[in-house]
Amino acid sequence: MDMIVPDRLKPGDTIGVFTASDPIEPPVTQWVEAGISRLKEMGFKVIEGATLTKSSYYTAGTPQERWEDFKSLITNNEVTLIMTAMGGSNAHQILELMDFELIRANPKIIMGYSNPTVLLNPIAQMSHLVTFYGFHAASFDPDWEWFDEYDLEHFEKVLQSPVTPMLI
């Protein structure tokens, strides 16, 4: 089966941000909020997932709540890009709940790194959807020390330009 390449990200498109792993607590809260503000300044709409402020002991809600949050972004026709808020250590808990046929039927750009990589690889394998090892919403915080103009330039090249360098 051929890989499915999701639609390009365009100015004005909607980015859905959800938490796949740990609860978003200070100081991470400030990073995520600043990152979301920057994404809006870049011309995107942002939908904050229900798990963004959830806390269930050491996770951002139960596995079922996190899957339902992700699923609501997958099935939302306004959403072009689904981005994790931050990393963590519990994303694997939602794998057995994932509906890969539903993801394949609703192709979106899905991006994250660190712990959420545990979701990207099975989604690519099982849904045949190209996924993107890339930024979290927190990465866009203007004070994030590991994110600069180089990263912004490549975010645009990979997700927005008419020709994605890695797919040529």
* Mean pLDDT on 42-69: 93
DSSP secondary structure string for all residues of 23-49: ---TTHHHHHHHHHHHHHHTT-EEEE-
Q: Residue 53 — very low, low, confident or very high, per pLDDT cuts 50/70/90? A: confident
- 64-70 CB contacts, 8 Å cutoff, 24+ apart: 64/97, 66/18, 66/19, 66/20, 66/93, 66/94, 67/94, 67/97, 67/98, 69/18, 69/19, 70/18, 70/20, 70/94, 70/98
pLDDT at 131: 96
Backbone phi, psi, residue 105, to 5° = -75, -15
Share of the chain above pLDDT 70, in %: 96
Q: Which of 39-48, 56-65, 73-82, 156-165 has the lowest mean pLDDT?
A: 156-165
Helices (H) and strands (E) in the chain, counts: 5, 5
Distances 135 to 32, 84, 146 between C-alpha atoms, Å: 12, 8, 10
**Token pair 């997958």 in the structure block, residue:** 74
The better pLDDT of the pair 21, 56 is held by 21
* Mean pLDDT on 107-133: 95
pLDDT at 166: 54
Q: Which amino acid is at 61?
A: G
pLDDT at 58: 86
Q: How many CB atoms lie within 10 A of CB 122?
A: 16
Report which DSSP code applies to 129: B
* pLDDT at 168 exceeding the cut of 50: no
* pLDDT at 11 exceeding the cut of 80: yes
The string of pLDDT tens digits covering residues 76-105 is 999 999 999 998 899 999 999 999 999 999
Cα distance between the two ends of the chain = 19
pLDDT at 101: 98
